[in-house]
A and B are shown apart, each in its own frame.
Chain A
């Protein structure tokens, strides 16, 4: 079963507008972490934002915020004031396993390609 689901293969947004990239996850763990990474056309993987399962507030990093709805098991990425440089693939990922006692790995979704137009 897919642990991380990103249902939007592609999204379009105009410059300066906000966009939401969807991510739902599946886990029975109580402790887990959710991540978003950006992969521009140059290929590198850039960490954007992290949300821990016990964090009560939604994570924010500059123009990025994570809309964490635990009951719905969703962790959507919101990019405000889109810029041309935001055009890239965006991956949602989940850390499985207990970070302090067990081994951990990141499981990735299939990604969403975002295109920002002028």
Chain B
């Protein structure tokens, strides 16, 4: 079983469309994240949720809306897609604050979004 799984792995769409990426983790972690990796491979955090509650929002345009129906799922919905949204989006999870451990992130395989 994949620890952090995200779908779809590839997404090609037209500018202006709306799309979603789903993420699920079976590690029992409390905290989940979305990271964006641009064409230069730079990884930047977008959002973080702890037990379904948004705790980090890193000045991401409000066209991006994360949703966490439960602590094992964190989905990313993107409205009115733009060319600059083309990137690889990584979902990740970690143990939450107040627990022991390194805070290591467990990543999904990434979802490559191409906006034409």
The complex places the Cα of A16 from the Cα of B75 at a distance, in Å, of 43
Instruction: Give how many B residues have a beta carbon under 8 Å from the other chain's beta carbons.
Output: 29
Interface residues of B (CB under 8 A from A): 31, 33, 40-45, 48, 50, 55-56, 88, 90, 92, 94, 97-99, 101-107, 109-110, 112
Known: A43-B110, A101-B97. A95 touches B50 (CB 8 A): no
Chain A residues whose CB sits within 8 angstroms of the CB of B92 once the complex forms: 45
Interface centre among A45, A47, A50 (most CB of B within 10 A): A45
Chain B residues whose CB sits within 8 angstroms of the CB of A102 once the complex forms: 97
Residue among A33, A98, A99, A106 making CB contact with B45, cutoff 8 Å: A106
The complex places the Cα of A99 from the Cα of B99 at a distance, in Å, of 8
Interface residues of A (CB under 8 A from B): 33, 35, 39, 43-45, 47, 50, 52, 89, 91, 95, 97-108, 110-111
Q: Are A44 and B110 in contact (CB under 8 A)?
A: yes
Q: Are B42 and A108 in contact (CB under 8 A)?
A: yes
